[in-house]
Amino acid sequence: MENTNMTDPIDVLLVDDEDDFRQILSKRLTRRGIHVRQTDRGENALQMLEEQRADIVVLDIKMPGMNGIECLQRIKKIPGMIEVIMLTGHADIQGGVEGIKSGAFDYLSKPVELEHLIRKIKQAHHKIQRIQAEKEEAAFKERVTQQMVVAERLVALGTMASGVAHEINNPLAVIQDSAGWLQQILAKPEMQDMPRKSDFQKGLERIHKAVKRAGKITQQLLQAVKTQTTETADPSSFVEVDLHMLAEEAITLVEPEASLRNISISLTSQDPHPSAWTDPLQLLQVLLNLLSNSVQATDTGKQVFVCLAATIEEAKIIVKDHGCGISKENLARIFEPFFTTKDADQGTGMGLYVSWGIITNLGGLITVESEVSKGSTFTITLPAKK
Amino acid sequence: MFKTSSHILLVDDEKDFVEMLSLRLQENGEDVLSAYNGKECLKTLEEKNIEVVILDVKMPGMDGIETLKKIKAQYPLVEVIMLTGHGTIQAAVEGMKLGAFDFLLKPADFKELTNKLNQARERRKEQVARIQKAETAMLLRQSKI
Protein backbone atom coordinates (compact mmCIF):
# COMPACT_ATOMS: atom_id res chain seq x y z
CA MET A 1 0.00 0.00 0.00
CA GLU A 2 1.38 3.33 -1.01
CA ASN A 3 -0.46 5.48 1.41
CA THR A 4 1.82 8.34 2.47
CA ASN A 5 -0.52 9.42 5.17
CA MET A 6 0.92 7.87 8.31
CA THR A 7 -2.21 8.14 10.40
CA ASP A 8 -5.73 7.53 9.13
CA PRO A 9 -6.52 6.82 5.50
CA ILE A 10 -7.90 9.73 3.52
CA ASP A 11 -11.70 9.72 3.38
CA VAL A 12 -12.97 10.43 -0.09
CA LEU A 13 -16.54 10.74 -1.29
CA LEU A 14 -16.87 10.06 -4.99
CA VAL A 15 -19.90 11.63 -6.67
CA ASP A 16 -20.58 10.85 -10.34
CA ASP A 17 -23.63 9.70 -12.24
CA GLU A 18 -21.67 7.44 -14.62
CA ASP A 19 -21.84 4.14 -12.79
CA ASP A 20 -19.06 2.28 -14.62
CA PHE A 21 -16.61 5.14 -14.39
CA ARG A 22 -17.39 5.60 -10.69
CA GLN A 23 -17.07 1.93 -9.82
CA ILE A 24 -13.70 1.57 -11.52
CA LEU A 25 -12.32 4.75 -10.04
CA SER A 26 -13.51 3.75 -6.60
CA LYS A 27 -11.87 0.34 -6.88
CA ARG A 28 -8.60 1.83 -7.99
CA LEU A 29 -8.50 4.47 -5.31
CA THR A 30 -9.31 1.87 -2.67
CA ARG A 31 -6.44 -0.25 -3.92
CA ARG A 32 -4.16 2.74 -3.30
CA GLY A 33 -5.14 2.94 0.35
CA ILE A 34 -7.77 5.61 0.08
CA HIS A 35 -11.02 5.13 1.92
CA VAL A 36 -13.79 5.67 -0.65
CA ARG A 37 -17.54 6.08 -0.41
CA GLN A 38 -19.59 6.73 -3.53
CA THR A 39 -22.91 7.93 -4.83
CA ASP A 40 -24.45 9.00 -8.10
CA ARG A 41 -26.31 12.10 -7.02
CA GLY A 42 -25.48 15.44 -5.39
CA GLU A 43 -28.48 15.19 -3.05
CA ASN A 44 -27.25 11.84 -1.78
CA ALA A 45 -23.74 13.21 -1.37
CA LEU A 46 -24.96 15.94 0.97
CA GLN A 47 -26.97 13.40 2.93
CA MET A 48 -23.92 11.11 3.24
CA LEU A 49 -21.67 13.94 4.36
CA GLU A 50 -24.16 14.80 7.04
CA GLU A 51 -24.06 11.23 8.33
CA GLN A 52 -20.31 10.96 8.21
CA ARG A 53 -17.98 13.66 7.01
CA ALA A 54 -15.21 13.13 4.46
CA ASP A 55 -11.89 14.86 3.88
CA ILE A 56 -12.28 15.25 0.17
CA VAL A 57 -15.18 15.09 -2.24
CA VAL A 58 -14.50 14.25 -5.88
CA LEU A 59 -17.47 15.77 -7.64
CA ASP A 60 -18.72 15.54 -11.20
CA ILE A 61 -20.06 18.82 -12.54
CA LYS A 62 -22.67 17.48 -14.88
CA MET A 63 -25.20 15.36 -13.07
CA PRO A 64 -28.97 15.01 -13.27
CA GLY A 65 -30.83 16.65 -10.38
CA MET A 66 -28.58 18.86 -8.33
CA ASN A 67 -25.62 19.79 -10.49
CA GLY A 68 -22.00 19.80 -9.34
CA ILE A 69 -21.66 23.53 -8.80
CA GLU A 70 -24.74 23.75 -6.61
CA CYS A 71 -23.64 20.68 -4.69
CA LEU A 72 -20.19 22.24 -4.23
CA GLN A 73 -21.67 25.43 -2.84
CA ARG A 74 -23.74 23.46 -0.36
CA ILE A 75 -20.73 21.35 0.69
CA LYS A 76 -18.69 24.48 1.33
CA LYS A 77 -21.34 25.61 3.79
CA ILE A 78 -20.84 22.50 5.94
CA PRO A 79 -18.76 23.41 9.00
CA GLY A 80 -15.31 21.89 9.12
CA MET A 81 -12.91 21.54 6.25
CA ILE A 82 -13.97 19.55 3.23
CA GLU A 83 -12.01 20.07 0.06
CA VAL A 84 -13.68 19.44 -3.27
CA ILE A 85 -12.08 18.36 -6.54
CA MET A 86 -14.34 18.93 -9.54
CA LEU A 87 -14.51 16.60 -12.51
CA THR A 88 -15.43 18.38 -15.74
CA GLY A 89 -16.32 17.10 -19.14
CA HIS A 90 -13.68 17.13 -21.82
CA ALA A 91 -12.61 20.71 -22.60
CA ASP A 92 -15.16 22.15 -20.16
CA ILE A 93 -12.80 24.77 -18.78
CA GLN A 94 -15.72 27.05 -18.07
CA GLY A 95 -17.17 24.61 -15.53
CA GLY A 96 -13.81 24.13 -13.84
CA VAL A 97 -13.24 27.85 -13.42
CA GLU A 98 -16.72 28.29 -12.02
CA GLY A 99 -16.01 25.49 -9.57
CA ILE A 100 -12.81 27.09 -8.34
CA LYS A 101 -14.62 30.40 -7.94
CA SER A 102 -17.13 28.62 -5.75
CA GLY A 103 -14.39 27.22 -3.53
CA ALA A 104 -13.26 24.00 -5.17
CA PHE A 105 -9.67 22.95 -4.52
CA ASP A 106 -9.06 22.23 -8.20
CA TYR A 107 -10.62 20.57 -11.23
CA LEU A 108 -9.71 17.71 -13.52
CA SER A 109 -11.01 17.11 -17.04
CA LYS A 110 -12.36 13.77 -18.02
CA PRO A 111 -10.99 11.30 -18.96
CA VAL A 112 -9.32 11.26 -15.60
CA GLU A 113 -5.84 9.89 -15.24
CA LEU A 114 -5.63 7.97 -11.98
CA GLU A 115 -2.17 9.18 -10.90
CA HIS A 116 -3.23 12.71 -11.57
CA LEU A 117 -6.33 12.36 -9.41
CA ILE A 118 -4.41 10.73 -6.59
CA ARG A 119 -1.88 13.53 -6.65
CA LYS A 120 -4.68 16.09 -6.43
CA ILE A 121 -6.33 14.21 -3.59
CA LYS A 122 -3.09 14.15 -1.64
CA GLN A 123 -2.47 17.83 -2.27
CA ALA A 124 -5.93 18.68 -1.02
CA HIS A 125 -5.37 16.49 2.01
CA HIS A 126 -2.09 18.24 2.76
CA LYS A 127 -3.84 21.54 2.60
CA ILE A 128 -6.39 20.34 5.15
CA GLN A 129 -3.65 19.06 7.43
CA ARG A 130 -1.67 22.25 7.13
CA ILE A 131 -4.62 24.45 7.96
CA GLN A 132 -5.49 22.19 10.86
CA ALA A 133 -1.93 22.37 12.19
CA GLU A 134 -1.97 26.14 11.85
CA LYS A 135 -5.23 26.30 13.73
CA GLU A 136 -3.87 24.11 16.50
CA GLU A 137 -0.74 26.19 16.72
CA ALA A 138 -2.75 29.39 16.90
CA ALA A 139 -4.92 27.88 19.62
CA PHE A 140 -1.82 26.76 21.52
CA LYS A 141 -0.26 30.21 21.28
CA GLU A 142 -3.51 31.74 22.40
CA ARG A 143 -3.59 29.41 25.40
CA VAL A 144 0.00 30.20 26.38
CA THR A 145 -0.60 33.94 26.03
CA GLN A 146 -3.74 33.58 28.10
CA GLN A 147 -1.80 31.78 30.82
CA MET A 148 0.90 34.42 30.79
CA VAL A 149 -1.64 37.19 31.10
CA VAL A 150 -3.29 35.37 33.99
CA ALA A 151 0.06 34.79 35.69
CA GLU A 152 1.07 38.42 35.39
CA ARG A 153 -2.24 39.54 36.75
CA LEU A 154 -2.02 37.14 39.67
CA VAL A 155 1.46 38.27 40.60
CA ALA A 156 0.38 41.91 40.44
CA LEU A 157 -2.72 41.19 42.48
CA GLY A 158 -0.68 39.27 45.03
CA THR A 159 1.83 42.05 45.41
CA MET A 160 -0.90 44.60 45.86
CA ALA A 161 -2.92 42.48 48.25
CA SER A 162 0.08 41.67 50.41
CA GLY A 163 0.95 45.35 50.55
CA VAL A 164 -2.56 46.05 51.75
CA ALA A 165 -2.36 43.20 54.24
CA HIS A 166 0.85 44.57 55.70
CA GLU A 167 -0.64 48.01 56.08
CA ILE A 168 -3.82 46.65 57.60
CA ASN A 169 -2.00 44.58 60.20
CA ASN A 170 -0.94 47.60 62.23
CA PRO A 171 -4.36 49.23 62.51
CA LEU A 172 -5.75 45.77 63.29
CA ALA A 173 -3.37 45.52 66.21
CA VAL A 174 -4.51 48.94 67.41
CA ILE A 175 -8.17 47.97 67.15
CA GLN A 176 -7.56 44.74 68.97
CA ASP A 177 -5.66 46.34 71.80
CA SER A 178 -8.15 49.19 72.13
CA ALA A 179 -10.98 46.71 72.51
CA GLY A 180 -8.84 44.56 74.80
CA TRP A 181 -8.03 47.53 76.97
CA LEU A 182 -11.71 48.35 77.43
CA GLN A 183 -12.38 44.72 78.27
CA GLN A 184 -9.69 44.83 80.91
CA ILE A 185 -11.22 47.94 82.40
CA LEU A 186 -14.69 46.41 82.42
CA ALA A 187 -13.31 43.48 84.37
CA LYS A 188 -12.10 45.73 87.22
CA PRO A 189 -13.96 45.54 90.53
CA GLU A 190 -14.90 49.23 90.44
CA MET A 191 -16.75 48.65 87.16
CA GLN A 192 -18.89 45.91 88.59
CA ASP A 193 -22.08 47.97 88.76
CA MET A 194 -21.65 49.88 85.54
CA PRO A 195 -24.98 50.40 83.70
CA ARG A 196 -25.47 48.28 80.55
CA LYS A 197 -22.16 46.62 81.15
CA SER A 198 -23.15 43.47 79.24
CA ASP A 199 -23.88 45.54 76.11
CA PHE A 200 -20.39 46.93 76.24
CA GLN A 201 -18.97 43.48 76.70
CA LYS A 202 -21.00 42.16 73.78
CA GLY A 203 -19.81 44.92 71.47
CA LEU A 204 -16.20 44.46 72.46
CA GLU A 205 -16.48 40.73 72.01
CA ARG A 206 -17.70 41.27 68.43
CA ILE A 207 -14.83 43.63 67.68
CA HIS A 208 -12.45 41.03 68.97
CA LYS A 209 -13.92 38.28 66.81
CA ALA A 210 -13.89 40.41 63.68
CA VAL A 211 -10.28 41.41 64.21
CA LYS A 212 -9.33 37.74 64.61
CA ARG A 213 -11.00 36.94 61.30
CA ALA A 214 -9.35 39.82 59.49
CA GLY A 215 -6.01 38.83 60.98
CA LYS A 216 -6.44 35.30 59.69
CA ILE A 217 -7.05 36.55 56.16
CA THR A 218 -4.02 38.83 56.11
CA GLN A 219 -1.98 35.97 57.49
CA GLN A 220 -3.07 33.56 54.74
CA LEU A 221 -2.51 36.13 52.09
CA LEU A 222 0.97 37.02 53.21
CA GLN A 223 1.83 33.37 53.44
CA ALA A 224 0.54 32.73 49.93
CA VAL A 225 2.50 35.58 48.43
CA LYS A 226 5.57 34.48 50.29
CA THR A 227 5.46 30.96 48.85
CA GLN A 228 5.55 32.29 45.32
CA THR A 229 7.89 35.25 45.52
CA THR A 230 10.63 35.17 48.11
CA GLU A 231 10.91 31.42 48.49
CA THR A 232 11.48 30.34 44.93
CA ALA A 233 11.16 26.62 45.41
CA ASP A 234 14.26 25.24 46.99
CA PRO A 235 15.43 22.46 44.68
CA SER A 236 17.18 20.78 47.60
CA SER A 237 13.74 19.84 48.93
CA PHE A 238 12.96 18.18 45.59
CA VAL A 239 12.89 14.42 45.52
CA GLU A 240 11.54 11.84 43.16
CA VAL A 241 7.93 11.62 44.27
CA ASP A 242 5.87 8.51 43.65
CA LEU A 243 2.69 10.20 42.49
CA HIS A 244 0.59 7.13 43.10
CA MET A 245 1.54 7.04 46.76
CA LEU A 246 1.12 10.78 47.09
CA ALA A 247 -2.33 10.66 45.51
CA GLU A 248 -3.32 7.80 47.79
CA GLU A 249 -2.22 9.80 50.79
CA ALA A 250 -4.21 12.82 49.66
CA ILE A 251 -7.27 10.68 49.06
CA THR A 252 -6.99 9.11 52.51
CA LEU A 253 -6.91 12.58 54.03
CA VAL A 254 -9.95 13.83 52.11
CA GLU A 255 -11.95 10.62 52.45
CA PRO A 256 -13.55 11.46 55.82
CA GLU A 257 -15.03 14.62 54.30
CA ALA A 258 -16.08 12.75 51.16
CA SER A 259 -17.64 9.80 52.94
CA LEU A 260 -19.90 12.14 54.93
CA ARG A 261 -21.73 12.69 51.66
CA ASN A 262 -21.12 9.21 50.32
CA ILE A 263 -18.73 10.38 47.62
CA SER A 264 -16.03 7.98 46.48
CA ILE A 265 -12.69 8.99 45.03
CA SER A 266 -11.20 6.75 42.36
CA LEU A 267 -7.53 6.67 41.46
CA THR A 268 -6.32 5.48 38.07
CA SER A 269 -2.88 5.56 36.58
CA GLN A 270 -1.75 5.11 33.01
CA ASP A 271 1.74 4.24 34.19
CA PRO A 272 2.70 1.64 36.73
CA HIS A 273 4.98 4.10 38.58
CA PRO A 274 4.30 7.70 37.62
CA SER A 275 6.76 9.99 39.32
CA ALA A 276 7.72 13.65 39.37
CA TRP A 277 10.75 15.54 40.57
CA THR A 278 9.27 17.93 43.09
CA ASP A 279 8.53 18.92 46.69
CA PRO A 280 6.12 16.28 48.06
CA LEU A 281 4.66 18.33 50.92
CA GLN A 282 3.78 21.31 48.78
CA LEU A 283 2.34 19.10 46.08
CA LEU A 284 0.27 17.28 48.68
CA GLN A 285 -1.13 20.61 49.87
CA VAL A 286 -2.26 21.45 46.34
CA LEU A 287 -3.74 18.02 45.79
CA LEU A 288 -5.69 18.25 49.05
CA ASN A 289 -7.05 21.60 48.03
CA LEU A 290 -8.17 20.37 44.59
CA LEU A 291 -9.71 17.20 45.99
CA SER A 292 -11.57 18.99 48.71
CA ASN A 293 -12.93 21.51 46.18
CA SER A 294 -14.05 18.69 43.90
CA VAL A 295 -15.74 16.85 46.73
CA GLN A 296 -17.57 20.02 47.73
CA ALA A 297 -18.73 20.55 44.14
CA THR A 298 -19.96 16.98 43.73
CA ASP A 299 -23.47 15.74 44.47
CA THR A 300 -24.04 13.24 47.26
CA GLY A 301 -23.31 9.68 46.18
CA LYS A 302 -21.30 10.59 43.10
CA GLN A 303 -17.63 10.12 42.29
CA VAL A 304 -14.46 12.18 42.05
CA PHE A 305 -11.61 10.99 39.83
CA VAL A 306 -7.87 11.28 40.12
CA CYS A 307 -5.86 10.26 37.04
CA LEU A 308 -2.10 10.08 36.81
CA ALA A 309 -0.03 10.08 33.66
CA ALA A 310 3.68 10.38 33.09
CA THR A 311 5.97 10.71 30.13
CA ILE A 312 9.74 11.08 30.11
CA GLU A 313 9.43 14.83 30.27
CA GLU A 314 6.43 15.54 32.41
CA ALA A 315 3.96 14.12 34.86
CA LYS A 316 0.28 14.97 34.98
CA ILE A 317 -2.12 14.81 37.86
CA ILE A 318 -5.73 15.26 36.86
CA VAL A 319 -8.52 15.86 39.35
CA LYS A 320 -11.90 15.55 37.74
CA ASP A 321 -15.45 15.81 38.99
CA HIS A 322 -18.92 15.80 37.51
CA GLY A 323 -20.07 18.44 39.95
CA CYS A 324 -21.69 21.82 39.55
CA GLY A 325 -18.94 23.21 37.31
CA ILE A 326 -17.68 26.76 37.00
CA SER A 327 -19.20 29.47 34.85
CA LYS A 328 -17.09 31.10 32.17
CA GLU A 329 -16.83 34.44 33.99
CA ASN A 330 -15.76 32.72 37.19
CA LEU A 331 -13.33 30.44 35.38
CA ALA A 332 -11.27 33.45 34.30
CA ARG A 333 -10.90 34.60 37.88
CA ILE A 334 -10.66 31.32 39.72
CA PHE A 335 -6.98 31.60 40.61
CA GLU A 336 -7.26 35.17 41.90
CA PRO A 337 -6.69 35.84 45.59
CA PHE A 338 -9.94 36.39 47.51
CA PHE A 339 -12.03 35.10 44.64
CA THR A 340 -14.64 32.77 46.04
CA THR A 341 -18.21 31.75 45.36
CA LYS A 342 -18.58 30.23 48.80
CA ASP A 343 -20.25 31.99 51.73
CA ALA A 344 -18.13 34.53 53.58
CA ASP A 345 -17.47 32.21 56.50
CA GLN A 346 -16.92 29.13 54.31
CA GLY A 347 -14.00 30.19 52.18
CA THR A 348 -11.52 33.01 51.94
CA GLY A 349 -10.79 32.53 48.24
CA MET A 350 -7.16 31.73 48.95
CA GLY A 351 -7.06 27.98 48.22
CA LEU A 352 -6.62 27.98 44.47
CA TYR A 353 -4.51 31.11 44.61
CA VAL A 354 -2.10 29.35 46.95
CA SER A 355 -2.21 26.21 44.80
CA TRP A 356 -1.42 28.21 41.71
CA GLY A 357 1.48 29.85 43.52
CA ILE A 358 2.90 26.54 44.68
CA ILE A 359 2.67 24.81 41.31
CA THR A 360 4.12 27.79 39.46
CA ASN A 361 6.90 27.85 41.98
CA LEU A 362 7.58 24.15 41.47
CA GLY A 363 8.12 24.86 37.79
CA GLY A 364 4.80 23.35 36.82
CA LEU A 365 1.51 24.40 35.36
CA ILE A 366 -2.02 24.24 36.70
CA THR A 367 -4.94 24.53 34.31
CA VAL A 368 -8.68 24.14 34.55
CA GLU A 369 -11.47 23.18 32.20
CA SER A 370 -15.03 23.36 33.29
CA GLU A 371 -18.61 23.47 32.15
CA VAL A 372 -21.56 24.47 34.28
CA SER A 373 -23.44 21.45 35.67
CA LYS A 374 -21.12 19.05 33.81
CA GLY A 375 -18.11 19.30 36.08
CA SER A 376 -14.56 20.53 36.31
CA THR A 377 -11.13 19.14 35.48
CA PHE A 378 -7.97 20.49 37.06
CA THR A 379 -4.69 19.42 35.51
CA ILE A 380 -1.32 19.78 37.19
CA THR A 381 1.68 19.33 34.93
CA LEU A 382 5.06 18.91 36.56
CA PRO A 383 8.52 18.27 35.21
CA ALA A 384 9.46 14.58 35.54
CA LYS A 385 12.85 13.42 36.65
CA LYS A 386 15.38 13.75 33.85
CA MET B 1 24.50 52.67 90.09
CA PHE B 2 21.30 51.16 91.35
CA LYS B 3 18.17 52.36 89.58
CA THR B 4 15.06 51.88 91.64
CA SER B 5 11.79 50.70 90.06
CA SER B 6 12.04 48.57 86.91
CA HIS B 7 10.09 49.04 83.72
CA ILE B 8 8.95 47.47 80.51
CA LEU B 9 9.94 49.40 77.40
CA LEU B 10 7.67 49.29 74.37
CA VAL B 11 9.32 50.23 71.05
CA ASP B 12 7.26 50.66 67.87
CA ASP B 13 6.94 53.40 65.30
CA GLU B 14 3.15 53.06 65.29
CA LYS B 15 2.18 55.54 68.02
CA ASP B 16 -1.44 54.43 68.42
CA PHE B 17 -0.30 50.87 68.85
CA VAL B 18 2.28 51.79 71.47
CA GLU B 19 -0.25 53.86 73.34
CA MET B 20 -2.97 51.21 73.41
CA LEU B 21 -0.64 48.39 74.34
CA SER B 22 0.95 50.38 77.14
CA LEU B 23 -2.51 51.33 78.43
CA ARG B 24 -3.36 47.64 78.55
CA LEU B 25 -0.15 46.70 80.27
CA GLN B 26 -0.58 49.54 82.74
CA GLU B 27 -4.08 48.34 83.42
CA ASN B 28 -2.45 45.09 84.43
CA GLY B 29 -0.24 46.97 86.84
CA GLU B 30 2.86 47.05 84.69
CA ASP B 31 5.17 50.03 84.60
CA VAL B 32 5.50 50.83 80.91
CA LEU B 33 7.71 53.30 79.05
CA SER B 34 7.45 53.99 75.32
CA ALA B 35 9.86 54.72 72.53
CA TYR B 36 9.03 55.29 68.87
CA ASN B 37 12.34 54.36 67.29
CA GLY B 38 15.63 52.59 67.96
CA LYS B 39 17.45 55.71 69.05
CA GLU B 40 14.83 56.64 71.62
CA CYS B 41 14.90 53.07 72.84
CA LEU B 42 18.63 53.15 73.54
CA LYS B 43 18.33 56.53 75.20
CA THR B 44 15.60 55.28 77.52
CA LEU B 45 17.67 52.21 78.39
CA GLU B 46 20.47 54.51 79.41
CA GLU B 47 18.26 56.55 81.69
CA LYS B 48 15.92 54.03 83.21
CA ASN B 49 16.04 50.62 84.71
CA ILE B 50 14.45 48.41 82.06
CA GLU B 51 13.80 44.69 82.52
CA VAL B 52 12.13 43.77 79.26
CA VAL B 53 11.98 45.48 75.86
CA ILE B 54 9.12 44.72 73.49
CA LEU B 55 10.62 45.59 70.12
CA ASP B 56 9.04 45.94 66.68
CA VAL B 57 11.18 44.42 63.94
CA LYS B 58 10.11 46.81 61.22
CA MET B 59 10.90 50.42 62.00
CA PRO B 60 12.14 53.25 59.83
CA GLY B 61 15.70 54.34 60.51
CA MET B 62 17.44 51.92 62.83
CA ASP B 63 15.44 48.70 62.43
CA GLY B 64 14.59 46.16 65.11
CA ILE B 65 17.53 43.86 64.47
CA GLU B 66 20.06 46.64 64.62
CA THR B 67 18.49 48.00 67.79
CA LEU B 68 18.53 44.52 69.28
CA LYS B 69 22.24 44.11 68.56
CA LYS B 70 22.98 47.38 70.35
CA ILE B 71 20.77 46.51 73.30
CA LYS B 72 22.43 43.12 73.73
CA ALA B 73 25.89 44.63 73.40
CA GLN B 74 25.32 47.31 76.01
CA TYR B 75 22.74 45.72 78.30
CA PRO B 76 23.11 41.96 78.01
CA LEU B 77 20.74 41.34 80.90
CA VAL B 78 17.82 43.16 79.31
CA GLU B 79 15.40 40.65 77.79
CA VAL B 80 13.93 41.45 74.37
CA ILE B 81 10.68 40.20 72.87
CA MET B 82 10.43 40.84 69.12
CA LEU B 83 7.16 41.90 67.48
CA THR B 84 6.91 40.89 63.82
CA GLY B 85 4.53 40.94 60.92
CA HIS B 86 4.05 37.77 58.89
CA GLY B 87 6.47 38.84 56.27
CA THR B 88 9.27 39.32 58.76
CA ILE B 89 9.35 36.01 60.65
CA GLN B 90 12.78 35.52 59.16
CA ALA B 91 13.93 38.58 61.08
CA ALA B 92 12.41 37.18 64.25
CA VAL B 93 14.43 34.00 63.90
CA GLU B 94 17.55 36.04 63.33
CA GLY B 95 16.67 38.13 66.37
CA MET B 96 16.41 35.06 68.58
CA LYS B 97 19.79 33.87 67.36
CA LEU B 98 21.13 37.25 68.39
CA GLY B 99 19.79 36.78 71.90
CA ALA B 100 16.15 37.91 71.82
CA PHE B 101 14.04 35.98 74.32
CA ASP B 102 11.16 35.21 71.95
CA PHE B 103 8.95 36.71 69.28
CA LEU B 104 5.26 37.46 68.77
CA LEU B 105 3.25 37.83 65.57
CA LYS B 106 1.31 41.04 65.14
CA PRO B 107 -1.50 41.49 65.98
CA ALA B 108 -0.35 39.70 69.11
CA ASP B 109 -2.70 38.00 71.50
CA PHE B 110 -2.55 39.94 74.76
CA LYS B 111 -2.56 36.85 76.96
CA GLU B 112 0.31 35.40 75.00
CA LEU B 113 2.14 38.66 75.32
CA THR B 114 1.76 38.83 79.10
CA ASN B 115 2.83 35.18 79.36
CA LYS B 116 5.99 35.81 77.43
CA LEU B 117 6.59 38.97 79.36
CA ASN B 118 6.47 37.06 82.62
CA GLN B 119 8.71 34.31 81.30
CA ALA B 120 11.24 36.86 80.13
CA ARG B 121 11.18 38.58 83.47
CA GLU B 122 11.61 35.24 85.18
CA ARG B 123 14.64 34.40 83.10
CA ARG B 124 16.19 37.75 83.87
CA LYS B 125 15.49 37.34 87.56
CA GLU B 126 17.20 33.94 87.60
CA GLN B 127 20.14 35.27 85.72
CA VAL B 128 20.49 38.25 88.08
CA ALA B 129 20.24 35.90 91.06
CA ARG B 130 23.00 33.69 89.68
CA ILE B 131 25.21 36.69 89.13
CA GLN B 132 24.61 37.85 92.67
CA LYS B 133 25.45 34.42 93.97
CA ALA B 134 28.64 34.38 91.98
CA GLU B 135 29.51 37.83 93.24
CA THR B 136 28.94 36.78 96.83
CA ALA B 137 31.17 33.77 96.33
CA MET B 138 33.80 35.97 94.88
CA LEU B 139 33.58 38.43 97.76
CA LEU B 140 33.80 35.63 100.32
CA ARG B 141 36.88 34.29 98.70
CA GLN B 142 38.51 37.68 98.59
CA SER B 143 37.75 38.34 102.26
CA LYS B 144 39.43 35.06 103.26
CA ILE B 145 42.66 35.99 101.66
CB pairs under 8 A between A and B: 54
Q: Per residue in A353-366, pLDDT tens?
A: 888 888 988 888 99
- CATH number of this structure's domain A235-383, picked from the four choices 3.40.190.10, 3.30.565.10, 3.10.580.10, 3.40.50.1000: 3.30.565.10
Which positions ≥6 away from A157 have C-beta within 8 Å?
A: A336, A337
Q: Is residue B1 part of a domain?
A: no
What is the pLDDT at residue A228?
A: 56
**Of A165, A184, A226, which has the smallest distance from its Cβ to B24's Cβ?**
A184
* Nearest chain B CA: its distance from A215 CA (Å): 7
Residue burial A204-228, b: 16+ Cβ < 10 Å; e: rest? beebeeebeebbebbbbbbbbbbbb
In the three-class reduction of DSSP (H, G, I as helix; E, B as strand; rest coil), residue A313 is classed as coil
Whether the predicted pLDDT of B4 surpasses 60? no
What's B54's domain CATH number? 3.40.50.2300
Confidence grade of residue A219 (pLDDT, cut at 50, 70, 90): confident
Q: Where are the domains of chain A?
A: 11-112, 167-228, 235-383
Number of domains in chain B: 1
- Backbone dihedral region for residue B139 (phi beyond 0: left; psi -120 to 50: alpha; all else: beta): alpha
User: Which chain A residues are within 8 Å of B60, Cβ to Cβ?
Assistant: none
**Does the CB of B76 have a partner CB in chain A at under 8 Å?**
no
Instruction: Please give the class, per CATH, of domain A11-112.
Output: alpha beta
**Of B24, B86, B108, which has the smallest distance from its Cβ to A223's Cβ?**
B86
ipTM attached to this prediction: 0.76
Q: For testing the chain A interface, which of B10, B20, B26, B59 should be mutated: the one with the most A CBs within 10 Å?
A: B20
- CA A309 to chain centroid, in Å, comes to 16
Phi, psi dihedrals of residue A40, rounded to the nearest 5° = -105, 0
Q: Per residue in A345-355, pLDDT tens?
A: 667 788 888 88
Domain that holds residue B22: 7-144
Which positions ≥6 away from A170 have C-beta within 8 Å?
A: B14, B17, B106
Chain A residues with CB-CB distance to B under 8 A? Answer: 162, 165-166, 169-174, 176-178, 180-181, 184-185, 188, 211, 215, 218-219, 222-223, 226
- Lay out the sheet containing A303-310: strands in order across: A264-269, A303-310, A314-321, A375-383, A365-371
Q: Is residue B118 part of a domain?
A: yes
Answer positive or negative: Cα dihedral of B28, B30, B36, B37: negative
Q: Is residue B122 part of a domain?
A: yes
User: Which chain A residues are within 8 Å of B24, Cβ to Cβ?
Assistant: 177, 180-181, 184
- CB-CB contact of A311 with A384 (8 Å): yes
Q: Is residue B139 part of a domain?
A: yes
**Of A170, A188, A222, which has the smallest distance from its Cβ to B14's Cβ?**
A170
In order of A58, A113, B75, the CA distances from A5 in angstroms are: 18, 21, 85
pTM comes to 0.55
User: Which chain B residues are within 8 Å of A162, Cβ to Cβ?
Assistant: 87
Residue burial A3-15, b: 16+ Cβ < 10 Å; e: rest? eeeeeeebbbbbb
Q: Is residue B2 part of a domain?
A: no
For residue A217, the chain B residue with the least C-alpha distance is: B86
Q: Is B76 exposed, middle or buried (0-12, 13-18, 19+ CB in 10 A)?
A: exposed
Paired sense of beta strands B102-105 and B79-84, if any: parallel
Whether the predicted pLDDT of A222 surpasses 60? yes
**Whether A173 and B106 lie within 8 Å, measured CB to CB:** yes
What is the pLDDT at residue B87?
A: 64
In the three-class reduction of DSSP (H, G, I as helix; E, B as strand; rest coil), residue A41 is classed as coil
